[in-house]
Structure 1
Amino acid sequence: MLGPFSIDTPFPAFKAMGADLGATTEQMQLVVSAYLVAFGLMSPFHGPLSDALGRRRVILAGVAVYAVASIGCALSPSLPVLLAFRVLQGLSAGGGVIVSRTVIRDVFEGPQAQRLMSRVMMIFAVAPAVAPIVGGLLLQVGTWPVVFYFMAGVGLLLIVLVALLLPETHPPARRLPFRFGSLVGSLGQVARAGAFHRVAWAAGLSFAGQFLYIGSAPIFVVDLLGKGELDFWMFFVPMIGGVMLGSFLSGRAAGRISPSRLVTAALLFSMAGALVNVVLGTLPTAATLPWAVIGPALIAVGTAAAYPTLQLVLLDMFPASRGAAVSMFTFFTLILNGVSAFALAPFATRSVFSLAVVSAVFVAAGLGSWLLHLVSARREPHMAPDGADTLQPGEQV
């Protein structure tokens, strides 16, 4: 939950932070982008480090630095200083967010892994719904720095829980050599695989259609819908409800529907939801509830149903270096989301309709990348990992 919690908890405080730090609404979007881009830039290294040093060490070190960075955010006297500590938050948060997915695949495989990944997706979905509500409540008892002090407390709690409850799932006998060349080599192996790119972009682009709303939530909820700092739940609860429904469907489908069919059906559903969202954006009721949140919730159902299986497909392409695979995947996703939150949000958020159109373009691009992958796999079924999507999760292990 640490990744989305770090993004969404400060949203209700953006207005107060901007007034206190002398920043405009557009400049405050940098608070999101700085975290996401830093997370993305560091994400290629957390997984390989855990392949070499063990999962537990990397998680503990990353969350410890995250807690210190959160305190730095709370004490920041200016926007540049705040952004510097947000970068440090992004650089460290992946130690928990990325490596935890690799832990699942260390222990489970096949339908069982898919079901657990779906459950994790449901837990992941709770954070964006709870975080802005918590942020709004914290502002009732203190000024905006209290939000970051709370995030530091979450980090300290996670350190205690990991230290006491999480066993090491990647023993020394299975670890890769801790050499820079080996770490870069494992990343290069992943990056050179055409199938990896097709599946990673399918997941990243389709999720970007949903994340565009999450990253633009302060503008969407406050400026476009005219709501207040305690009203973020009106947007996040329907969207996260969609994520939880999609995750539930993904878990129920494990072992019953082939991965490729599940992903295809889920992404087609997301595309249908995106088109419904565009149509609703043309109506006079576009900026009113519940019409403004129906489309994003439908997109979330399809994205959440596809995402766990797409992650397992990527992990199974590289059984010897799963950390590198999940790191490269996270790198693509976070960089895409960070750039879109900064570069596209100011244009996309001019109206509810423009936001819906840009979201639909992302979803369509993700669906197109997946369909391209299916076509390529049929043409080259003998090639690994290009044919991995046609296998059940775990079949290559």
Structure 2
Amino acid sequence: MHPQAATLWPHPRWLLAVLLAGLGMLGPFSIDTYLPAFEGIARSTGATPVQLQQTLSSYLLGFAVMNLFHGALSDAIGRRPVVLAGLGVFTLASAGCALSSTIEGLIFWRAVQGMCAGAGMVVSRAVIRDLFPPSEAQRVMSQVTIFFGVAPAIAPLLGGYLYVHADWHAIFWFLTGVGAVLLLINLRALPESLPPASKQEFAVRPLMQGYASLLKSPRFLLLVMASGIPFNSMFLYVLAAPEYLGRHLGLGPTQFFWFFLCTIGGIMGGAAWSGRVAGKMKPESQIRRGFTLMLVGVLANLLLVSVAPQHARWSLPLIGLFSLGWAFMVPVVTIMVLDENPERRGMASSLQSALSAAANALVAGALVPLVMHSLQALALTAVGFLMVGLVAWQWVRRLPRIGRTGA
């Protein structure tokens, strides 16, 4: 923790949560807002379904690669400069997307968007842990998730409205405006939470050695898998939304928000619940309850689409139940991940985000095109992702606690 943590942010804690949630929302906004416009992008640019999917996978790949460096840079030069630079480049990249007239140009600028969109999310986790001890950090992370949840809930509604009443370019001009506003707000309000004595020299070779050391830690890897892999059970449906919602459920572009209302409502509810029990419930019990809810959600969804596919719209609340369980347990696991390397929490956060984003990119580019045409295939894949996370968590419980917990 920063020795002057109490004075760095003298305002109410929820205001810091709002500020950091704004940084975290860039990722979901960059994905959810333009999904309703896939059909229009295809008509305008002549893109094939595979090329349209590449606008997602290129974004996620750029997100994964640069996340290896955001946290380490913030450990070296401070949290604030990395956030501000990320917001600036994101704004320019969004304008590049808006000005694109070819699918190749859109794919390129989407990759640049992804490279900088993760800066705020990665660094915001480190900021929270810089300023608060573990139980308080869990409460703040839960508050961030609650406020953050508003963004992707309204993103597809805004995207659908802009697409119907203007065109798909307007969506990216909207993202340009979001980036510019966040840049101005953070330029004025974001504190520098990294203590000067804690700054680490940025050098690629030692950084890679540090990552190698973390990757050799079974506990770190399993914790990342326990939180990140199950997320893909829900994210799978987000990536397949144009096919899943449009063809399977028969929803129009302006109706996509029903799906996001369920998923984000679950996330916000789970985060609020997690914040209330922070410091009162044992972390292992909280994680177990979260996995139980997720398991009920995916198994009930698989049963529904197998025996009554004509009622597939009832899957939406079940996906919401899954997101409730995920959001309830993930703040606890995230604190565990960061405390695996308390001297370089930015680096740990970077590697966690990079690994999760790499998995997301693989799902977007390779897996979603294979399973999005079948409700049963989507449901079975969701079950598979959850089982990987559940096995990882059970494995963590059997490992010795050799990681150090910082103040």
Residue in 2 aligned with 1:369?
392
Structure 1 residue 287: deviation in Å?
4.9
CA distance in 2, matches of 1:65, 1:396: 33
CA distance in 2, matches of 1:14, 1:342: 15
1:155-203: CA deviations, max 9, x gaps? 1111101110111001322100133333333323322211100100111
Correspondence for 1:219 among 218, 235, 243:
243
Is the 2:304–2:311 contact (alpha carbons within 8 Å) kept by the matching residues of 1?
A: no
Alignment of 1:184-333 (within 5 A): 184-289=208-313, 291-333=314-356
Structure 1 residue 72: deviation in Å?
0.6
Residue in 2 aligned with 1:71?
95
Q: What amino acid is the match of 2:166?
A: G
1:52-73: CA deviations, max 9, x gaps? 0100000000110111111111
Structure 1 residue 288: deviation in Å?
4.0
Q: What amino acid is the match of 2:244?
A: F
Correspondence for 2:138 among 91, 98, 114:
114
Residue in 1 aligned with 2:173?
149
Q: TM-score normalised to the size of structure 2?
A: 0.91
CA distance in 2, matches of 1:21, 1:205: 33
1:108-155: CA deviations, max 9, x gaps? 112211111111122232222111111112124321111001101111
Find the residue that maps to 1:4 and give its secondary structure: helix
Q: What amino acid is the match of 1:281?
A: V
Q: What amino acid is the match of 1:171?
A: P
1:367/1:55 Cα in 2 relative to 1: closer, same or farther (>3 Å)? same
Correspondence for 2:376 among 322, 342, 353:
353
Residue in 2 aligned with 1:392?
none
Is 1:334–2:357 an aligned residue pair? yes
CA distance in 1, matches of 2:70, 2:126: 11
CA distance in 2, matches of 1:279, 1:153: 43
Is the 1:278–1:356 contact (alpha carbons within 8 Å) kept by the matching residues of 2?
A: yes
CA distance in 2, matches of 1:27, 1:140: 22
Residue in 2 aligned with 1:29?
53
Unaligned runs of 5+ in 1: 389-394
1:66-123: CA deviations, max 9, x gaps? 1111111111121111100000001111121211111111101122111111111222
Q: What amino acid is the match of 2:396?
A: H
Unaligned runs of 5+ in 2: 1-24
Number of aligned residues: 383
CA distance in 1, matches of 2:285, 2:406: 19
Q: What amino acid is the match of 1:358?
A: T
1:286/1:40 Cα in 2 relative to 1: closer, same or farther (>3 Å)? farther
Is 1:159–2:183 an aligned residue pair? yes
Q: What amino acid is the match of 1:265?
A: R
Find the residue that maps to 1:282 and give its secondary structure: helix
Is the 1:186–1:321 contact (alpha carbons within 8 Å) kept by the matching residues of 2?
A: no
Is the 1:70–1:151 contact (alpha carbons within 8 Å) kept by the matching residues of 2?
A: yes
Q: What amino acid is the match of 2:394?
A: L
CA distance in 1, matches of 2:290, 2:369: 29
Matched-pair identity in %: 38
CA distance in 2, matches of 1:31, 1:129: 21
1:138/1:26 Cα in 2 relative to 1: closer, same or farther (>3 Å)? same
Correspondence for 1:83 among 107, 118, 122:
107
CA distance in 2, matches of 1:87, 1:235: 26
294-303 or 182-191, larger mean C-alpha shift: 182-191
1:152/1:31 Cα in 2 relative to 1: closer, same or farther (>3 Å)? same
Find the residue that maps to 1:309 and give its secondary structure: helix
Residue in 1 aligned with 2:123?
99
CA distance in 1, matches of 2:54, 2:375: 21
Q: What amino acid is the match of 2:251?
A: K
Kindly report the root-mean-square deviation, in angstroms, between the aligned alpha carbons of the 2 structures.
1.4
Is the 1:286–1:292 contact (alpha carbons within 8 Å) kept by the matching residues of 2?
A: no
Is the 1:190–1:324 contact (alpha carbons within 8 Å) kept by the matching residues of 2?
A: no
Find the residue that maps to 1:226 and give its secondary structure: coil
1:286/1:247 Cα in 2 relative to 1: closer, same or farther (>3 Å)? farther
Residue in 1 aligned with 2:3?
none
Is the 1:208–1:362 contact (alpha carbons within 8 Å) kept by the matching residues of 2?
A: yes
CA distance in 2, matches of 1:79, 1:32: 12
Find the residue that maps to 2:307 and give its secondary structure: coil
CA distance in 1, matches of 2:64, 2:197: 29
1:2-38: CA deviations, max 9, x gaps? 1111111101111100111111233211111111111
Structure 1 residue 245: deviation in Å?
1.2
CA distance in 2, matches of 1:255, 1:286: 44
CA distance in 1, matches of 2:362, 2:148: 22
